[in-house]
Structure 1
């Protein structure tokens, strides 16, 4: 079980988010394959001109901004509900996108390095129960957040934005309980994604070292 490393005040948690907000959005954008730099992200968030980012990349960054703003509005773990999870995905991929904020009802295929991964079509009643069991468990908040991050990534509950939704939902839990924040550093991202592919195949979290 992953231990909680921090116990922060509400003001302290707010300051942590404020100081790292552009970095959080930037790193989440890497899950969408964005080529934008941290400086690009900072400029877009500050509504500054001069960025060479594509319009689609700007929209993705602004969607991530909105998703994080919503996630950070959840002040208590009880507010990090299944409905909140759906709303995070709605913000992540945009309200006009197909299937935004809805559990998918059609098959998807995820290309891996050496195979194609096809997760099961989610049963909404079952995933609601699994989500509730996870959030309400006796595990530490950090352990819940990591478990949620991995479970959402592998289950592919949505048509799009699953890894982005997963990291933002995980941080919603961390923020609500004032336990700091989760992030995959850019220099560890390739390794994380490689291990995530192995996890997709067998569902064994031991690949991550715990």
Structure 2
């Protein structure tokens, strides 16, 4: 296990990788060097405005996560993460969605605030921090709490839990992308949770001490 200070160092050290990987699982068409250039605020040619917006939002979202690991995990906090992630990309950002969305063949129910608060309380009551992070990710992705940016928001919130407890960072890279997409789809359609959690455990990045 890392100290919190070591974990924050890891997050800062791998910052561009975190942004790149989070963009990659959303199908964002940018390379690693282009991601670094966009993070630095320089102009990149040949990249769509939408992809640049996504990277800038992820940059700001990850900065917020790193700077706020001591804050309690509340619905307000989660909405703030989504506000960073989905800014100018969604119908609304930073608020629970009020209408129907579909993820392929899967159509989640519209989130009810009282039910979401109960789930957050349940998840906060899970003793083991890695289990807590993965349980949050699985719940929030399947419930599709927001109009857009649910995987990105869930990844960051799960990482906040991990960083806070010195357990590493959740970052789903190319090597795990196919398994992640398959297991996430099976969680949506077949309610198979353990394979998704097993995949996510492989995606927790730690620091070699």
2:84 corresponds, among 71, 84, 91, to 91
Q: Does 1:198 align with 2:191?
A: no
CA distance in 2, matches of 1:50, 1:123: 41
CA RMSD across the alignment = 1.7
| 2:41 alignment partner, SS class | coil
Structure 1 unmatched runs, 5+: 1-5
Alignment gaps of 5+ in structure 2 = 199-209
The Cα offsets for residues 125-183 of structure 1, whole Å up to 9 and x where unpaired, read as 01111012102322x11111111111111111111111111101101111122221112
Q: Distance in 2 between matches of 1:96 and 1:153?
A: 18
Which residue number in structure 2 is paired with residue 147 of structure 1? 135
Conserved 8 A contact 2:130-2:167: yes
User: In 2, are the aligned partners of 1:43 and 1:51 still within 8 Å (CA)?
Assistant: no
TM-score for the superposition, normalised by structure 1? 0.88
- Residue 203 of structure 1 deviates from its aligned partner by 2.2
State the aligned residue count. 198
8 Å CA contact retained: 1:74, 1:176: no
Runs of 4+ aligned structure 1 residues displaced above 4 Å come to none
Which residue in 2 is equivalent to 1:57?
Answer: 51
CA–CA separation in structure 2 for the residues paired with 1:75 and 1:196: 26
Matched, 1:171 2:159: yes
